[in-house]
Amino acid sequence: MTAESSPSRPGAEHWVPGSASVEELRHAAEACRGCELWQDATQVVFSEGAQGARLMLVGEQPGDREDLSGEPFVGPAGRMLDTALDDAGIARETTYLTNAVKHFRFERRGPRRIHEKPGVAHVNACRPWLDAEVAAVHPAVVVALGATAARAVLGRPVTIGEVRGEPLDAPDWRGVSIVVTVHPSSLLRIRDDADRHAALRAFVADLRAAADLAGVR
Ligand code: URA
Ligand code: SF4
C-alpha cells in the first residue's frame, strides 16, 4: 500500500477548522484528504439538519445514492429510517443526521458500485469531523445506528444486542448521552415479514427512548 492510499494517513484533523459552525464544517469537509476514500467518491456527504438539534443520529457512511446526491440517508436505508422516525413520532427535520465516515467506500463490479464497510482506520481518520459536529450542534443525545457508528461514537467495539436502547455516557463528549441501536439497512435484509416488523418495532422503541431522553417528543 502506498502512503497515498493507506487509511493510516494523517486523519481529518488537519482539515477540521477550530470552533466552527456546521456550515463552516460542511464547507471545509469538501477539501478533506484525511484518508484515501475521497479519491473514488463523487463528493463528501456531510450532514443534514440544524445546529441546535437535540437529537443527533449517526449512520455508517453514505451509500451509492447519497454519494451521488450529496445528502445523507436519501436511499433505501434512508426510507427505512424515515418510516421508523415517523412511527416514533420524531420529525426528521428536528434531528441532525450524519455519518461516522463521510465518503462512500465501495467496490466496483462492472457498472455497479457495491457498498464496502469502512475499516476501523477510516472510522478513526474521520472521527475529528464527528467531534467538531458534536461541539457545534451540542446535542443532548447521540444515536449510533449500527456497529460502525457505535464504534465511532464510543471509541470501542460493542455488540449491539448487549448495549442497545440503554443510555450510555459518551467517553469524549461531556453531557452527551449515547443510545446505540441497529442500522436501518439491517431491517432491509430481513426477508420474513413478521421478523422484519418485529425488528422495526424494536428499532422504533430505541428511537423513542432516545427522543424522550433528549426531550424532543
Ligand atoms: N447508510 C448510512 O449509514 N448512511 C447514509 O447516509 C446512507 C445509508
Ligand atoms: Fe476525510 Fe472522512 Fe472523507 Fe476520509 S472519509 S477523506 S477522513 S471526510
Distance 120 CA to ligand 1 centre (A): 17
Inside any domain, residue 23: yes
Closest-lying ligand to the alpha carbon of 30?
A: 2
Dist CA 59 CA 118 (whole Å): 12
- Choose one of 13, 27, 32, 130 to mutate for the ligand 2 pocket test, by most ligand atoms within 8 angstroms of C-beta: 32
Q: What is the mean pLDDT of the chain?
A: 95
3-state secondary structure of 145: strand
In this structure, which amino acid lies at residue 100? A
33, 118 in Cβ contact below 8 A? no
Does a structural domain hold residue 7? no
Full DSSP string of 24-86: HHHHHHTT--SSGGGGTSSS---EES-TT-SEEEEES---HHHHHHS-SS-SHHHHHHHHHHH
Within a domain: residue 126?
Answer: yes
Residue 6 lies in a domain: no
Q: What is the pLDDT of residues 54-100, one digit of tens each?
A: 999 999 999 999 999 999 999 999 999 999 999 999 999 999 999 99
Q: Which pLDDT band holds residue 217 (cuts at 50, 70, 90)?
A: confident
Q: Measure 31 CA to ligand 2 centroid, in angstroms.
A: 9
Which of 56, 73, 180 has most ligand 1 atoms within 8 Å of CB, for mutation?
73
- In a domain? residue 110: yes
Q: How far is the CA of 9 from the centre of ligand 1 (A)?
A: 24
- CATH number of the structural domain spanning residue 173: 3.40.470.10
- Asked whether residue 3 is domain-assigned, the answer is no
The letter for the amino acid at 2 is T
Whether 47 maps to a domain, the answer reads yes
Q: Which ligand 2 atom minimizes the distance to the CA of 38? A: 6
**Is residue 188 over pLDDT 80?**
yes
If DSSP codes are grouped into helix, strand and coil, which group holds residue 200?
Answer: helix
Give residue 8's pLDDT band: very low, low, confident or very high (50, 70, 90).
low
| Residue 196 CA: distances (Å) to CA of 121, 159, 188, 212 | 32, 20, 8, 24
In this prediction, residue 148 carries a pLDDT of 98
Is 4 contained in some domain?
no
For 106, the 3-state DSSP assignment is strand
Q: Which domain holds residue 102?
A: 12-214
pTM: 0.95
Backbone angles phi and psi of 180, in degrees to 5: -100, 135
Who's near 194: CB < 8 A, 6+ residues apart? none
Domain count, the chain: 1
Q: How far is the CA of 37 from the centre of ligand 1 (A)?
A: 15
Give, as one character, the DSSP assignment of residue 107.
Answer: E
Q: Is the pLDDT of residue 3 over 50?
A: no
Which protein residue's CA is at the shortest distance from atom 2 of ligand 2? 126
pLDDT for residue 1: 39
